[in-house]
Chain A
């Protein structure tokens, strides 16, 4: 059973460019969350997708956008890249919470996409 798959694993961009990161969730999961993790810090919540809609969003500018496809896979797009966008971008999938502590709300993370902006 494949876990969460992210691509690419590493990429280098220059300031002002745009980037698209991709995520395939764990089999059976229907919810995808994206996190940004700068070096030495904890993951910062960007947004979460469920039923192809952005359900919740963290404190990130509109330059960060996303999409969820009918097969539950997801993309994270970042426009007008800044040096400060250099980070590890993590995708996490889960089975949307159903109001019970049954393990359905456990996040499974991918290995991340390391973005370097020069």
Chain B
């Protein structure tokens, strides 16, 4: 699976848009990108996933350029409750019945008043 690289930490203020970019230079054709959010003493929570171009849900947007070597998680108008660790992961689409996701160190986002 492709290794991912993302900022160790980021700071923002309430109401701002936050963009977290993840690098995955060795992504394979049948790999997809997925993002998780984790609060202290809780398990990670799925945010969004995509394969190419742009994906949007009620929480975030995911931008993936044509070469797919990077991706950007966009959080619109963050609030204090968005302070968390955000993980970018690359998963592989198998034809079988299992999946394996490897977490990196993540990006610690701190949202300030």
Binding site for B on A (CB under 8 A): 4, 30-31, 33, 35, 41-45, 48, 50-51, 55-56, 88, 90, 92, 94, 96-101, 103, 105-112, 114
Q: A42-B87, A99-B93, A101-B93 are in contact. Are A109 and B45 (CB under 8 A)?
A: yes
Q: A42-B106, A106-B49, A108-B46 are in contact. Are A100 and B99 (CB under 8 A)?
A: no
- Would you call the interface of chain B mostly helix, strand, loop, or mixed? loop
Q: Give B40-71 as 1s and 0s: 1 = Cβ < 8 Å from A's Cβ atoms.
A: 01111110011100000000000000000000
Q: 7 tightest CB-CB pairs across the interface, nearest first?
A: A109-B43, A96-B97, A42-B103, A97-B99, A105-B99, A50-B98, A55-B98
By the criterion CB–CB under 8 Å, are B49 and A56 in contact?
no
Q: How many residues of B contact A (CB 8 A)?
A: 29
| Alpha-carbon separation in the docked complex, A103 to B55 (Å) | 13
Sample of 5 A–B contacts (CB below 8 Å): A42-B103, A97-B96, A99-B94, A109-B45, A112-B41
Say if the beta carbon of B102 comes within 8 Å of chain A: yes
Q: A99-B93, A111-B43, A112-B41 are in contact. Are A42 and B98 (CB under 8 A)?
A: no
Which of B36, B42, B99 is packed against the most chain A CB atoms within 10 Å?
Answer: B99
By the criterion CB–CB under 8 Å, are A4 and B43 in contact?
yes
By the criterion CB–CB under 8 Å, are A31 and B97 in contact?
yes
| Partner among B32, B50, B100, B103 whose Cβ is within 8 Å of the Cβ of A43 | B103
Q: For residue A111, which residues in chain B have a CB less than 8 angstroms away from its CB?
A: 41-43
Q: A43-B44, A101-B93, A108-B46 are in contact. Are A96 and B103 (CB under 8 A)?
A: no
| Partner among A42, A43, A94, A114 whose Cβ is within 8 Å of the Cβ of B99 | A94
By the criterion CB–CB under 8 Å, are A106 and B34 in contact?
yes
| Alpha-carbon separation in the docked complex, A110 to B58 (Å) | 22
Q: For residue A114, which residues in chain B have a CB less than 8 angstroms away from its CB?
A: 41
| Additional A-B contacts beyond A105-B93, A106-B46, A110-B43 (16; CB < 8 A) | A31-B97, A41-B105, A42-B103, A45-B102, A50-B98, A90-B43, A94-B99, A96-B99, A97-B93, A97-B97, A97-B98, A99-B95, A107-B36, A107-B44, A112-B41, A112-B42
